[in-house]
A and B are shown apart, each in its own frame.
Chain A
Amino acid sequence: MTATVNGQAQRLDVPAHTTALDWLRGQGLTGAKEGCAEGECGACSVLVARPDPAGGTRWTAINACLVPAAALDGQEVLTSEGLGTPDAFHPVQYEMAVRGGSQCGYCTPGFVCSMAAEYYRPGRVTAADRAGGDAELGEDGELGEDGELGENGFDLHALSGNLCRCTGYRPIRDAAYALGLPEEGDDLARRRTEPAPAPVSTRYATETGSYARATSLREAIDLLAEHRDAVLVAGSTDWAVEVNLRGARPPFVVGIDRVPELRELRIDADHIELGAALSLSEIEEGLAGRVPLLDQLFPQFASRLIRNAATIGGNLGTGSPIGDTPPVLLALESGVVLASAQGDREVPLSEYFTGYRESVRRPDELIRAVRIPLPLSPVTAFHKIAKRRFDDISSVAVGFALRVEDGIVTTARIGLGGVAATPIRATRTEAALEGRPFSREQVRAAAEVMRSEGTPMDDHRASAAYRSAMLGTALLRLHAEHLNREGNPA
């Protein structure tokens, strides 16, 4: 196995289960650090060359602690050392250095990589060049919803997966907002116009574990048939935490993140199909606002670093009751397309989960795609209740999709996370809404029903009482926001 790191081809010869981070550090590239080993702090952020929709390359920031080193086979990686040196700064490094963006410096190489990815984002447009830019002004005349967009088009959410314990972030924000656009002759900018490295059909076997990269659906299904104990890994953002922190050492790992059949995004007349191995970032870009409810979800789904790797199939495959996509996908009445040697079958998501981290998926099946039926219900909202506004795990998550015709709720679909052993539909609340006026009185009555949905628990994220209270206020908030949008103050 080989990988290109900072422009140099390097042999990849590592023990099984070695992370990309440990491998890079072992190569002497100690800029990337381990701060948490679970993709929360971003100190390990590096850039990988990923294909973009136009056939070129996107410099994509990911957490190196979550990527198996073997998954870098044939790939191209950039670290902070490759961006610039103390004698020849990259523009991102320069701004961070002179504006006080580093104090202890430990998180800094990771910030630099996340910032560089946003620096090279092709869609980044400065305010001067932005057509209709006024539409993005927030309440206080700030750019973006919460002033999280710089005049230079820098989206601060690009840094939401990087933690700094020293600076309080203001100087880092200033550095980000001070960046210009890449200049002529910037090799990394030019690199974007050439194709990204193709996936390699990696087969890597050691005594303590093996890694195989599937490059077709057939191959993935065959590998799964051969190795009944195989762990399917796409973005690896959940699984790697088991490996890094809880000592999981699976004998066989199959990488499916580059399987073409799992990476299609299609908008048909009666449904949208999202390939299971598309990352959340790729879906966000590919849908381009086509599903407003998903647009509410994306910025609240972990961090940009995670969304660049984590896949929609993976978020369902882990079966967590606190995954962020299920409440939304339940509200959208999505289906899960399962593929096996026998072909495809589609299961409604509402029937997919059978218990805590359990589902109807057979061992020989993999999730191929998610289907969202069209047309979409127009009144939608995603409420995520958590301690931290960016990059937290929800205590309660609610997805709403309602159709209101002539003041009457004709359909109501409500997905809930964090209030039961699986994501659930709030079916009693749906029934309490449907066929009735979308009025304050009816909403209040339905809200009381919703308060008693699920079986919330006490844990370190929230008390059961708070979870129930949040179920009880979600519908009131949706209604008030709906009235505000319609121009009728609540």
Chain B
Amino acid sequence: MNYWQFRRQLYQHALKQWLESLTQVSTGIVALFPMALYALLLLPLLALGVLADKDSQGESFFYTLWGYLLLAYCWIAMQKEALQAADYALYDRSLPVPVWQRGATELGLLLYAANVFVIGPAAVLLAMVYGHFTELVSGELRVSVTQLYPVCGLLVLTLYYCQSAKGKVKPWLSLGLVPLIAMPWAAWLHAPWLCLLGLAMAILVERTVRLPAPSFAGLPQGFWRLFLQQDIIHTKPTLLRAVVVLLVLVIGATFVRQIDISAKAPASLLLAFVLGVVAATKLLELQSVRRHYHYYLHSLPISPRDCTVQALGYCLVYCLPGLLLIVKFGLLSLSQWGFFLLTYAATQAGILLRPGYYLIFPLVAALMYLGSVYLVNR
């Protein structure tokens, strides 16, 4: 077994363990999207159609680019430990592998892990270069650059985010604050180059201005502290949940704004349902924490009922930033907010009463809601 095979095996082993733990921790999301992983691979391919087109509308380019880069970053960030063979780092470092071989292996693994996110734009770029070959060699450089810059920019940014996902610099500005703040002006972005330039500037800033380390002083005490600190230290499930909410919103914003007005209401209801389930399934995570520390928590002078009440309260507060984000996207009307809350409550009731079949509860609630709406409108 050579070094590449060794590292690939460590990567695949860590990934397998991670997927198993993900299934346990974030069961809600995994159960909600049984085919999501396959669909996830199709998303970048679909997004490429928008991103590689220089004539794309600024708004659709903005949302698609944000979603694509966010997904690429999180895709790698979630595999970070597996890519770095973190569990076996000491042993790996003890191996007499030349620096160049280690570097090449790590680059190979990164491309292997990022696969469709990097290969997609690279293949499109190659195809476009091939298609514009005559213009390139004949000296009509301006025309070629105009055609190629969106996909070139995408490829460079994707490579950057994939690489930075392995490091310590978080894209809090370029994939967080800047797109969120720029959302109201998304329609005014008349060309893709504005988005690319804005992102490049934000990257420069976030690489120089570092976020302060999280401080635990002043955090609430008691049971909430247990849940909160677990979330702060083990960020992956929260990251996954946040990404799913953001992606649903980003894709939803693109989708809902472009479809016919008669189809808007059902599409928004679907969004409300998905978001309600994703938000409510935080409770599954908390139940999993309670199961993990079962004996210790049982040894405390607090009844399981009180513990459940605390978990429900924590879950609600945890979802507040997500709710604010949904408000900011402005995709739901008042009645759809009501449907969102119904889905949220029904999902949590399902998790508490029948954890194995909890999805039945929001589905039944949704059918009852749609039935009552139909009867009222008839």
Whether chains A and B associate is no
* B contacts, CB < 8 Å to A: none
